[in-house]
Amino acid sequence: MTLNDVVLLSLYAVSEFCVIYMIIKFYPYFRERFAAGAVNQFMLAMLGFMTAYGIKMATAFCIRISYIIQPSGDTPINHALQTYTWTAAQCLTTASLIILAILTRKKRFDVWFYLRRQERENKYKEGNE
């Protein structure tokens, strides 16, 4: 194991810890917002980005460990699993970053998804009858 391996594994571990910490700390917010039926689009994109980043860091950690354990080569199954996991996480990361960039460009940080609009409209109609 080289010094570069130790540095990379340390950085991956710290990044993974930070992402998990932030997701845990934001869990009450998302639970409350989903229960209320309205979720901020910026925060939802941020959650998607953090989740994808966490998956990417876990995958990078596994790839680095597998190179340390098997420096001569990787099995085809491990290689395919790591590649597809990385690709899926990269897709979610890119989509989240595009959404965040668009919202930042338009300065629209207060865009909400209303999950229960139909239910609220029905209650409003029932109350007016």
Please state, as a whole number, how many other Cβ atoms lie within 10 Å of the Cβ of residue 55.
19
Each residue's pLDDT expressed in tens, for the chain with a length of 129 residues: 788 888 888 888 888 898 899 899 989 988 998 888 888 888 888 888 899 889 988 888 888 888 788 766 667 777 787 778 888 888 888 888 888 888 888 877 777 777 765 555 555 555 555
Total number of domains constituting the chain: 1
User: What pLDDT sits at residue 125?
Assistant: 57
Write out the residue range of the structural domain in which residue 123 sits: 3-128
Supply the DSSP symbol for 112: E
Q: Give the distance from CA 107 to its chain's centroid.
A: 22
